[in-house]
Amino acid sequence: MEILRIENLTKTYGAGENMVRALDNVSLSIEKGEFVSIIGPSGSGKSTLLHIIGGVDRPTSGKVYMNGQDVYAQNEEQLAIFRRREVGLIYQFYNLIPVLNVVENMTLPVLLDGRKVNEERLSELLTALSLSDRKDNLPNQLSGGQQQRVSIGRALMNAPSVMLADEPTGNLDSRNSQEIVELLKMSNRKYDQTLIVITHDENIALQADRIIAIEDGRITRDERIRRAH
């Protein structure tokens, strides 16, 4: 089942001579439950693609359909709700709110949605993320790996259908990196979530079901890796 379809997506910055095409007429389709890694050199446009999918940046032209819904046909209010329910974003620099503790940061999308926190799911995630004894800590009291785990927890809390991770391990050492990848893979399998990861790390890229390479704003390679589960 197709969960995400992108049609003729273009994103430009600047104008005239200085115009930069970050994305140039990109089209692609992703199935539900797929684990996709996006690779490409710096400035190739992969982050832009991810942000546009996540509803945090706007395309210059083209369409993004999530579950058949045209994402950018929604108004700001609907877009915000889309962000909190449909996608989970993970950044290289964790982007936690410094004055909120671990639990508060993790439950932020649920709380913003005005719903009650599913305590069972929270403790399950805390355990899975090895953050159970760090519940009340503020971000600046955590290590980089821990902070990234919190941001993953935040992305998973709402059980979104699509997880987007922008170099989630870029700032971490190899041991922490592998842990994070395992976590992402686990949730991909366990909750049948679609997972799209931008990475420079070949090890991580090769663990995906599908690798998409981007160069100068265009998809240059799109291959499925066949392996037995």
Partner 1 sequence: MGVLLKYTIRTLRKNRMRTFVTLVGIVLSMALVTAVIEGGYSGQQFLVRGTEADIGRFYGFFMNLHPEDAGKVSSFEGVTETAGMTEVGWAEIGSVNVQKPYLLVESIDEHFEELVAVHLLEGRMPENDSELVLPYHLETNGGVHHAVGDTLELSVGTRMADNSRVHMDTPFMEGADEITGAEERTYTVVGIMERFSWDVEYKKCPGYMALTKGGSGDSVNVFFRLKSARKYQDFTRKIWFEDQKIQSNGSLLAYSGSFSDGGFQQLLYGFIGVLVFLIAFGSISLIYNSFSISVSERTRQYGVLKSVGATKRQIRGTVFMEALTLSLIAIPVGLFLGCAGIGLTLYFLRDIFQRMFDPGNTARMQLVLNPAALGIAALSGLVTVLISAFIPAKRAIRVPPISAIRENADVRIRPRAVRTSRLTQKLFGFEGTMAAKNFKRNRRRYRSTVVSLFLSIVLFISASSFSSYLTASATDLGAVDTAGDVMVQVNTESYDALMKYYDTIRLNPMTEEASVMLYCANSLEVPEDALSESFFANNPKEELQPGLYAQGMLSIYAAVILIDDRQFDIYAKACGTSREALTKDGEVQAILMNAVKYFRYEENGRKFYSYEFLKESALPASVVMSRIKEIEGFILTEFQEDNSAEYLPQEYLDELDQKGMSLDDADPEKKIILSERDAHEYIPLTIGAVTDRLPLSPVGSSFRLLVLPLSEEERLISNGEIGSFQQVISVRSSEHAKLTEELTKTFREEGVSDIRVEDLAESRETVRMAILAINVFSYGFIILISLIAVANIFNTISTNILLRRREFAMLKSVGLSERGFRKMLNYECLIYGFKGLLFGLPAAVFMTFVIWRITTTSFEVPFFIPWQSVVIAVGSVFAVVFATMIYARRKLSKDNPIDALKLETL
Q: Give the footprint of partner 1 on this chain (CB under 8 A).
A: 51, 54, 56-58, 76-77, 80-85, 89, 91, 93-100, 104, 107-109, 111-113, 154
103 vs 205, which CB is nearer to partner 1? Answer: 103
80 vs 128, which CB is nearer to partner 1? Answer: 80
How far apart, in whole angstroms, are the C-alpha atoms of residue 205 and residue 211? 7
Sheet containing 218-224, strands listed edge to edge, beginning at the edge strand earlier in sequence: 87-90, 162-166, 194-198, 35-39, 210-215, 218-224
DSSP 52: H
76 vs 133, which CB is nearer to partner 1? Answer: 76
108 vs 159, which CB is nearer to partner 1? Answer: 108
Q: How far is the CB of 104 from partner 1 (least distance, A)?
A: 6
Q: Which of 44, 47, 43, 39 is nearest to 199 (CA)?
A: 39
28 vs 81, which CB is nearer to partner 1? Answer: 81
**Tally of CA atoms within 13 A in the half-sphere of 198 that contains its CB:** 24
Q: How far is the CB of 175 from partner 1 (least distance, A)?
A: 20
Q: How far is the CB of 216 from partner 1 (least distance, A)?
A: 20
Q: Which of 127, 172, 124, 165 is nearest to 147 (CA)?
A: 172
